[in-house]
């Protein structure tokens, strides 16, 4: 038995079998339970250590496997990261039945996660770009069902993500030359520029994120939310792998400034444009753009904070996107539209669901006592120590997100006629949103409960963790 077979091979096989159940709630339950089991195995099962079952029988999980001359390896240092990815995916799967998308999201999501973990584990790393492209192609049926003609957002998403691949492949080719001629400044600059362009397309860096608000209008908000969580996070981990491997890249003098500039562009443009939206889905899309900006800013603090701030952001951001996109999906299913004029006064009809939406929005901008507050205040403090002007621009972005939340609240409570309070939505939908609200408040009040999981995550990247 080997580790890649457990966390990549078996999930890929399972993703095919998950198409078989005819009931969505069974698919969601099986997919979520399977992802949770993989997370627990990653947390508790030792790799490269003999496990004794009894006096005469023992076995060992080998870390690597070779396929067609290429090595895929999941080491003990990678296990906390794999456990985090599978546990968060399990939450997405459990919520998918309430969003009425489990039949597509669970099997496709399982296959995507397995492929993206393979992209982080494969050597040489050039093959990772091809595996990521395969996962992106698999995502298309999730965003646009086969019976529906693809719209502008899906086409633009596919084009932008595909354009990233040649840049990353060419940069990998140049990096092979850099290893043999580390003193060639021109070659270093060319490799860095190509790498930056590739990741700019993958991460949808300004102005390459126009597909995000379009998708939020065209597709299921829950499906888009899953993509906006999974792909950027895997891309960031892929980028950290580059920084960990190449000393010249992580010591590149312009790297912190480039990350800070890109992050500020993302949080400023995403925050300001979210403040003027009249569509709840587009507003969440711009908030996801701000999340990417926060992650970029956290990486600009590598010299001071290593990776602690980056990983501190991951769980609150994922939790916020899950609750926000689920609430939007439920509202869209029942009301058919997420335009302000169509959802006016809906808080009285969907009090729990829309309370979850508002709290997820407020958590995304770091309101005190909510899950997003501890990492965002840590990020803000770190920026202020380095550059007060950068901290000011982050403050402006946060204020813009708050403006969008207040506008949403004003519309939702502005009932066009005198209505009584009712509790719409199924009991499953209201229960899931209530659980999400509980955890947003819990992580805001007691962020230290995440420490056992987050403490070992930076160790995945040996040269970046201290």
Q: What is the pLDDT of residues 90-130, one digit of tens each?
A: 999 999 999 999 999 999 999 999 999 999 888 877 788 88
Rounded to 5°, angle at Cα 356 from 351 and 358? 95
Mean pLDDT of the chain: 88
Residue 181, pLDDT score: 65
Residue 416, pLDDT score: 66
Indicate the Cα dihedral angle 282, 287, 292, 298, nearest 10°: 170
Q: Do 38 and 74 meet the contact criterion of CB atoms below 8 Å apart?
A: no
Residue 461, pLDDT score: 82
3-state secondary structure 75-103: CHHHHHHHHHHHHHHHHHHHHHCCCCCHH
Model confidence band, residue 205 (pLDDT cutoffs 50, 70, 90): very high
Model confidence band, residue 336 (pLDDT cutoffs 50, 70, 90): confident
Residue 182, pLDDT score: 62
Residue 247, pLDDT score: 78
Alpha helices per DSSP H over 123-218 = 126-143, 152-180, 185-202, 211-218
Is residue 356 pLDDT above 90, yes or no?
A: yes
Is residue 136 pLDDT above 90, yes or no?
A: yes
Residue 154, pLDDT score: 92
Model confidence band, residue 337 (pLDDT cutoffs 50, 70, 90): confident
Residue 12, pLDDT score: 94
Residues ≥6 apart with Cβ < 8 Å to 433? 323, 326, 327, 330, 352, 353, 355, 356
Residue 56, pLDDT score: 67
Model confidence band, residue 304 (pLDDT cutoffs 50, 70, 90): low
Residue 430, pLDDT score: 92
Residues ≥6 apart with Cβ < 8 Å to 389? none
Model confidence band, residue 176 (pLDDT cutoffs 50, 70, 90): low
Is residue 451 pLDDT above 60, yes or no?
A: yes
Is residue 466 pLDDT above 60, yes or no?
A: no
Residue 244, pLDDT score: 81
Which range among 46-55, 137-146, 331-340, 410-419 shows the weakest confidence by mean pLDDT?
Answer: 46-55
- As a whole number, mean pLDDT of residues 272-279 equals 92
Q: Do 302 and 239 meet the contact criterion of CB atoms below 8 Å apart?
A: no
Q: For the chain, which residues make up each domain, given as ranges?
A: 1-123, 255-466
Residues ≥6 apart with Cβ < 8 Å to 128? 119, 120, 122, 238
Q: Do 95 and 360 meet the contact criterion of CB atoms below 8 Å apart?
A: no
Residue 305 or 77, more confident: 77
Residue 142 or 465, more confident: 142
Q: How far apart are CA 181 and CA 184, in angstroms?
A: 6
- As a whole number, mean pLDDT of residues 274-284 equals 92
- As a whole number, mean pLDDT of residues 328-343 equals 89
Residue 463 or 71, more confident: 71
**Model pLDDT for residues 420-430, shown as the tens digit of each residue:** 777 888 889 99
Q: How far apart are CA 121 and CA 64, in angstroms?
A: 9
Residue 177, pLDDT score: 66
Q: How far apart are CA 53 and CA 32, in angstroms?
A: 28
Model confidence band, residue 407 (pLDDT cutoffs 50, 70, 90): very high
**Model pLDDT for residues 221-247, shown as the tens digit of each residue:** 999 999 999 999 999 998 888 888 877
| Type and span of the H or E element at 401 | helix 388-413
**Model pLDDT for residues 13-58, shown as the tens digit of each residue:** 999 999 999 898 999 999 999 999 999 999 888 887 777 766 666 6
Q: Do 134 and 198 meet the contact criterion of CB atoms below 8 Å apart?
A: no
Residue 437 tokens read as 């609200």
Q: Do 318 and 371 meet the contact criterion of CB atoms below 8 Å apart?
A: no
Model confidence band, residue 305 (pLDDT cutoffs 50, 70, 90): low
Is residue 183 pLDDT above 70, yes or no?
A: no
Model confidence band, residue 70 (pLDDT cutoffs 50, 70, 90): confident
């Amino acid at each position: 038995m080997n580790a890649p077979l457990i966390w990549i091979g078996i999930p890929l096989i399972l993703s095919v079998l998950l198409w078989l159940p005819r009931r969505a709630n069974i698919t969601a339950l099986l997919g979520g339970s399977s992802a949770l089991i993989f997370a627990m195995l990653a947390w508790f099962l030792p790799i490269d250590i003999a496990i004794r079952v009894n006096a005469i029988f023992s076995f060992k999980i080998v870390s690597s496997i070779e396929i067609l001359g290429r090595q895929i390896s999941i080491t003990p240092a990678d296990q906390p990261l794999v456990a985090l990815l599978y546990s968060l995916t399990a939450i997405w799967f459990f919520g998918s039945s309430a969003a009425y998308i489990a039949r597509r999201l669970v099997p496709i999501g399982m296959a995507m996660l397995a492929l993206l973990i393979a992209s982080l584990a494969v050597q040489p790393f050039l093959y990772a770009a091809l595996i990521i492209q395969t996962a992106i192609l698999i995502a298309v049926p999730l965003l646009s069902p086969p019976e529906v003609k693809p719209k502008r957002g899906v086409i633009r998403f596919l084009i932008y993500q595909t354009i990233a691949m040649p840049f990353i492949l060419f940069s990998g080719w140049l990096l092979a030359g850099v290893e043999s001629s580390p003193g060639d400044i021109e070659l270093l600059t060319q490799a860095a520029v190509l790498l930056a362009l590739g990741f700019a397309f993958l991460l949808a860096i300004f102005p390459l994120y126009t597909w995000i608000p379009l998708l939020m209008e065209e597709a299921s908000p829950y499906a888009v939310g899953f993509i906006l969580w999974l792909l950027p996070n895997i891309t960031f981990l892929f980028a950290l792998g580059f920084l960990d491997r190449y000393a010249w890249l992580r010591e590149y003098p312009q790297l912190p400034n480039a990350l800070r500039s890109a992050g500020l562009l993302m949080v400023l443009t995403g925050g300001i444009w979210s403040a003027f939206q009249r569509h709840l889905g587009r507003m969440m899309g711009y908030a996801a753009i701000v999340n990417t900006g926060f992650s970029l800013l956290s990486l600009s603090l590598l010299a001071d904070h290593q990776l602690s701030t980056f990983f501190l952001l991951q769980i609150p951001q994922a939790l916020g996107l899950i609750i926000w996109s689920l609430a939007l999906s439920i509202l869209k299913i029942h009301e058919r539209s997420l335009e302000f004029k169509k959802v006016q006064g809906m808080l009285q009809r969907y009090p729990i669901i829309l309370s979850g939406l508002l709290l997820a929005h407020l958590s995304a901008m770091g309101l005190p006592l909510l899950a997003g507050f501890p990492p965002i205040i840590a990020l803000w403090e770190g920026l202020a120590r380095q550059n007060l002007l950068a901290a000011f621009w982050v403050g402006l972005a946060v204020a813009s997100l708050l403006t969008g939340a207040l506008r949403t609240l004003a519309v939702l409570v502005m009932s066009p006629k005198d209505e009584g309070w009712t509790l719409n939505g199924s009991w499953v939908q209201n229960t899931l949103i209530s659980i999400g609200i509980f955890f947003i408040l819990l992580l805001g009040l007691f962020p230290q409960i995440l420490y056992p999981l987050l403490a070992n995550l930076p160790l995945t990247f040996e040269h970046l963790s201290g």
